[in-house]
Amino acid sequence: MGNAKEVLGLNDVSSSKAVSQLLKALLAEFLGNFLLNFFGCGSVVIMQSTAEGARPNFVFVALTFGLIIFIGVQALGHVSGAHFNPAVTVGLFSVCKINLIKSLLYIVVQCIGALAGSGTLKALLPEIYHYAGLGNTALNPTLTALQGFGFEFFLGFVLVLVVCGVCDPNRPEAKAAGPLAIGIAVAVGHLGAIGFTGSSMNPARSFGSALIASQWNDHWIYWVGPILGGIAAAQIYQNVLKAPSLDEHIVERYRTVAEAKELKRLDVTKDNFA
């Protein structure tokens, strides 16, 4: 019964204090996705609406998305874990790092935050800027939907792999660099795939911009791809790649030192006999 309550997350709604903490976490997830869509999609609008000769290239967009994630994780990670992405949430749920109730609520507020970010962007921009889709992700017409799914799968994969690596409790040295590493993973994903799928990596980000722009072509790839990629990365990291416990590290360290001392002692003894 205790395990069931833990998996479901009933403890998160069992007291007023727990509910208060949960509401703070949901607010953090809302804000993270709001900022992601507002500033990230805003950079896409700038790129698409600037005159050809002065137009920034996709590096500008990649840096904007990567930096806003870096900022969000740095500012809000202590509140909610700074998932800001249903693919991250589902991936971590698959390895029991977050409970069911919190996972579902996170995904809902992530989508609402992204929708609010894209909606605010649209409200603040004159209609002349609306023609290009307000940063909505779109599949390159030379690719099939299955190929687009493949790109989004690996975008979700690399992001969740980095998240698992920097959040590994047995790698405390990685924690300080976590926000930067996650932001770089997002930037790299955009640098490598923005020309193929728009480089969503994030179902909520695509949902918010698609709803505001009323453009749903091949939208399923932006949900199924990153989520399945995130699950695969979380499972591989948790079951194959995770760092050994700190106790094992200490034991191994002392065993190695002891062996080195013993070899040194034997060398000295051998020299004495010689």
Q: How confident is the model at residue 133 (pLDDT cuts 50, 70, 90)?
A: confident
Encoding tokens for residue 259?
């062996």
Structure-model confidence comparison of residues 192 and 15, the more confident one: 192
Same domain, 41 and 24: yes
Local structure of residue 125 (DSSP, 8 states): S
Whether residue 254 has pLDDT greater than 50: no
Residues 204 and 237 in one domain: yes
Task: Mark whether 133 and 261 lie in a shared domain.
Answer: no
Are residues 58 and 134 both part of a single domain? yes
273 and 162, same structural domain? no
pLDDT, the chain, mean: 90
User: Residues with Cβ < 8 Å from 196, sequence gap 6 or more?
Assistant: 139, 140, 143, 147, 148, 151
* Contact status, residue 210 vs residue 216, Cβ threshold 8 Å: yes
Amino acid occupying residue 104:
L
Residue 196 structure tokens: 């193929």
pLDDT at 4: 66
Instruction: State the pLDDT at residue 251.
Output: 46
Task: Identify the CATH number of the domain in which residue 174 sits.
Answer: 1.20.1080.10
If one counts the domains in the chain, the total is 2
Q: What is the pLDDT of residue 245?
A: 86
Whether pTM exceeds 0.75: yes
Residues 151 and 165 in one domain: yes
pLDDT tens column, 86-95? 999 999 999 9
Residues 233, 175: one domain?
A: yes
The pLDDT of residue 235 is 98
CA distances (Å), 166 to each of 230, 237, 243, in order? 15, 11, 11
Structure tokens belonging to residue 158: 């690399």
State which residues form the domain around 215: 2-243
